[in-house]
Amino acid sequence: MKKGILIVVGLVVLALVGYTLWFDKASAPQVAYTSITGKTASTDSLKGKVVLVNFWATSCPGCVQEMPELKKTHERYAPRGYETVAVAMSYDPPNYVHAYVSDKQLPFFVVLDSQGSIAKAFGDVQLTPTSVLIGKDGNVIKRFVGVPDFTELNGLIEKAIKA
């Protein structure tokens, strides 16, 4: 009898977890962005695109390591409805960010999160790099802490663009 109850409870738990993973997608937070070049965007204005929001800092070795791949990924998918928003952390000196962006010729939207409000809205991001992939519907597809596996990331982007 106890074994039967445990099996039923286990199946109910699995069903709830499956339902949550399948149907209960987390929405990206409503955030407004102003790039270092003065362009503006928001979560709402980016709906309809697949978006990677990347939290980074010029002093972060993993961030510097991943940036060339982020640039390649952006250049590969931007013509197909993909956008990268690179959010420089509040502790990153603005002049360092400007110099890095200029030196590396980053082709995407770079934001100074000087008050830390964007990082807070995305779950109080503290660790860099952290990236959040958002689908065309505005729902979070995946959150990466650390340098992402770019094969996996590119596969998720491909799938999301086709959706």
CB-side exposure of 33: number of CA atoms within 13 Å?
31
CA separation for the pair 74, 49 (Å, rounded): 12
115-152 per-position pLDDT tens digit: 999 999 999 999 999 999 999 999 999 999 999 999 99
- H or E segment at 64? helix 61-77
41-59 per-position pLDDT tens digit: 898 989 999 999 999 999 9
Domain locations in the chain? 26-162
CATH superfamily membership of 26-162: Glutaredoxin (3.40.30.10)
13-49 per-position pLDDT tens digit: 344 434 334 445 699 999 998 999 999 989 898 999 9
Q: What is the pLDDT, as a whole number, of residue 163?
A: 86
Peptide bond between residue 129 and the one before it cis (omega within 30 degrees of 0): yes
- CA atoms 64, 69, 71, 73: torsion sign: negative
Query: What is the mean predicted confidence (pLDDT) over 53-79?
Result: 97
